[in-house]
Amino acid sequence: MNDRAAQRANALLRELSPEEKIYQVTAEMIFDTTGDYRERRNPLCGAYRNPGHFMHYQRPAPASPAEVTAQINEDVRCSIEAQPHGIPPIENGEALHGAQWGMCTNFPQPIALASSFDPALVERVGDAIGKECSAAGVRQVFSPVVNLARDCRWGRTVETYGEDVQLTSDLGAAMCRGLQKNGVIATPKHFADNYGFGGRDSNYAETGERAMRETVLPPFRACIDAGAQSVMAAYNGWDGLPCTANRRLLTEILRDEWGFDGFVVSDYCGVEGLREAHKMANTDAEAAALALKAGLDVILPFCRYDAVKEAIETGALTEAQLDVAVLRVLTAKFRLGLFEQPYRDPDAAQRLVRCDAHRALALEAARASIVLLKNDGILPLKQTSIKRIGVFGQSAKLIPIGANYSGPYGAPWQGADAPTPLEALQARFGDSAQILFCESSEIEAVAPTCDVNLYFTSILEGEGSDRSDLRLPSVTVKKEERREGGLIVDEAAQEITDDQERSILRLCKASRRTVILLQNGAPIDMTAWAEQAPAILETWYPGEQGAKALVEILFGETNPSAKLPITIPKSVGQLPLVYSRKPSGRGYAYCDNDGKPLYPFGFGLSYTSFEISDVRMTVSQAGVDVAFRIANTGVFDGAEVVQLYLGSHGCAVVRPMKALKAYARVALKAGECKAVSLHLTPDAFCYYDAAMVYGLHDGSHTLMLGVSSEEIRATFELTVRGGSLRPAQQTQADPRSAWETLAARNERSDRHDA
């Protein structure tokens, strides 16, 4: 990092008054930017929720990028002019799958991006988001979410990159790199374990030290190693303390172990939560002292000057302790170049935001994000034979972006060239076919007369909307808008009145020419109807160009290539259900359930076929290389995601039976063949031993090359002895490797128990 920035920060810190210091660790957010906004705004705070996020509220037309940039410039200007030392503020905001200060390019939700298994693509998306943030003057974003979705009842599953440690680490790091190329601070969140039993958001985490080290923390470490300069503390508690005031997390692990030299922000009203939710403090002053002493640096989102001032006056917090946080904030500002270039060009922002290149990238990302789960031969559809299409489900009339973190506050995201699925179908066919949007009451009358029928599902989920039932809503349900405290999530009022499971079954009975298109951010219980459905597409929320992408896939213009980044269970009773489990002492199933998922992690179909051959393993002290040839043996161009898993046995501690360690997305023309190699460093075989010492400890390992976590094409055995990797005597393993034998033993035990 730039030592000069730290030197300048130290010099400035020595000149600041106690009042100036306090303001640097506080922030402000004002919902209404109209009228006397400038008079209501406190220009002394060190950070602001950018006003662009709120400028669209109750306006007849959205604010333009130029207008937003001009307003942020004005925000910065009045702050600099009011500061005795002219310190510019950090204008911040959300950027989960797009710059959320206005009508910016809206990319697929993170769970959809994860389905691409393509870190390079995610980094390009992060780069585009970073450019659109920086262009308007938004210099810090609260993204990415790198919590693992290991219980899909959690409403925020849609915000994650799925359940896997390696995939989440890779994609979170890629997003951070993309954002920070543009002078935008990435803020991975929520540090650290953000939900409790049952997928309940922000509930106390019972996760032990080993699970924390093995699964929860690695994605955050990957983001820090990728250059992330901020971290957001989680609302919940872990190991006896709220994460907002958890010195073990914020200082000992994050800074002392990992060497993080950025700054930590609270989640919105997280510091107040030390008093209100966790009952750890009696006053806001006590809460502020607890947080700042533990390693927190900035209190979001509202100005808590009085609380910090009281903490110092009462001796709960010393000025020296305050200085530590202030220095980190000032250093970040110097690193960003805020003092030299505090303003942005409104005209340049107008030209950049939702430019042709960014909209094209949104379409590319959507194409790579849609998973084909089932196909009984109905797909791809032949356009020339289609004269009449039945369209069912209210989501067909919505731009498929998802409800949370999609656009500005109080106004729906909109783009003139961002169609709904119904509009995309109509644009494709024009007058050459009838596109009939029908109510479910019309299924029996309309479906048999159509060449194909499409059903678009709907579900209520997102931040503040954890689920206890994974089935599609089958009764009248309605979610109202919520505007409370520091929570500014736009939960647009939504009403679902269709009995969706019943409608899908009726539609599949009325016509075998039926495709179910899932629009959701987390797994759905499909067991009631999946067997009857001829084809199922998991479209997730594919973003502003997602409707175009899914129509392309329906008609074979694009070949689906995405893979599931999360296990889809058969029912909620199986949860939590992840592929990378550790061995059971008895079995994995219930007496009325075999314990296997409906669709496994890494699964996804294609319109073409692939063949993997000539698989070879090479072991050296530099690591392990698995080389192979892959051929497209079908008639469609396509891409396959080849996945390399590690199973461990004979180790000093119990290890996961299977864990993703490497993967490659390989694009192939029909008939084309390529040579590919996957490399694992020795670190892939390291683990924490019984004394919680991390290293290349002794053990035996099975490498499994496949196209999903359940479809393995080749296996190899190797060992670690004395810190050295060694191939087993037989490099090409028998069909039943050690991990498979162990799995079979557990299944036999389970059947015996039942």
Task: Decide: 461 and 467 in contact? Cβ < 8 Å.
Answer: yes
User: Is residue 222 domain-shared with residue 343, that is, in the same domain?
Assistant: yes
pLDDT of amino acid 752? 43
For CA atoms 540, 160, 328, 235, the dihedral sign is positive
**493 and 445 share a domain?**
yes
Query: How far is CA 433 from its chain centroid?
Result: 38
In a domain, 468, yes or no: yes
Q: What digits encode the pLDDT tens for the residues 365-419? A: 999 999 999 999 999 999 999 999 999 999 999 999 998 899 888 888 999 899 9
From 552, 574, 596, the end of a domain falls on 574
601 domain-assigned = no
Examine the domain organization and report whether 441 and 560 are in the same domain: yes
Residue 264 scores a pLDDT above 70: yes
Q: And the tokens for 749?
A: 């035990």
List the CATH number of the domain containing 333: 3.20.20.300
Q: Is residue 638 assigned to a domain? A: yes
Let me know whether 308 and 439 are in one domain.
Answer: no
Q: Is residue 598 part of a domain?
A: no
Q: Give residue 59's pLDDT band: very low, low, confident or very high (50, 70, 90).
A: confident
Q: How far apart are CA 443 and CA 392, in angstroms?
A: 8
Residues 728 and 649 reside in one and the same domain: yes
Spatial contact of 344 and 73, defined as CB atoms under 8 Å apart = yes
Task: State the number of CA atoms in the 13 A half-sphere of 35 facing the CB.
Answer: 7
Domain of residue 418, CATH code: 3.40.50.1700
**Model pLDDT for residues 545-584, shown as the tens digit of each residue:** 999 999 999 999 999 999 999 999 999 999 999 999 999 9
Tokens of 697: 């400890």
3-state SS, one letter per residue, for 95-135:
CCCCCCCCCCCCCCCHHHHHCCCCHHHHHHHHHHHHHHHHH
Verify that 435 and 298 share a domain, yes or no: no
CB 387 within 8 A of CB 169: no
pLDDT 10s digits, 468-497: 999 998 766 666 555 544 456 655 456 788
In a domain, 582, yes or no: no
Q: Please compute the mean of the pLDDT values over residues 591-601 and round it to a whole number.
A: 93
Structure tokens at 236: 């919940």
- Which of 629, 599, 577 has the alpha carbon at shortest distance from 711? 599
In the listed set 574, 595, 630, which residue is the last one of a domain according to the structure? 574
CATH of the domain at 658: 2.60.40.10
Name the DSSP letter for residue 394.
G
Same domain, 160 and 281: yes
Instruction: Please report whether residue 726 resides in a domain.
Output: yes
- What's the pLDDT band for 749 if we cut at 50, 70, 90? very low
Residues 289 and 409 in one domain: no
pTM of the entire predicted model: 0.95
Q: 207 and 255 share a domain?
A: yes
Whether residues 518 and 397 share a domain: the answer is yes
Segments forming the whole domain that contains residue 255: 3-351
pLDDT range class, residue 703, cuts 50, 70, 90: very high
Q: Which of 542, 660, 678 is nearest to 601 (CA)?
A: 660
Q: What is the pLDDT of residues 412-452, one digit of tens each?
A: 899 989 999 999 999 999 999 999 999 999 999 999 999 99
Q: Is residue 590 part of a domain?
A: no
- Is 97:141 a contact under the CB 8 Å cutoff? no
Judge if 541 and 456 occupy the same domain: yes
- The residue from 574, 594, 619 where one domain ends is 574
> What is the tally of structural domains in the chain?
3
565 and 619 assigned to the same domain = no
In a domain, 358, yes or no: no
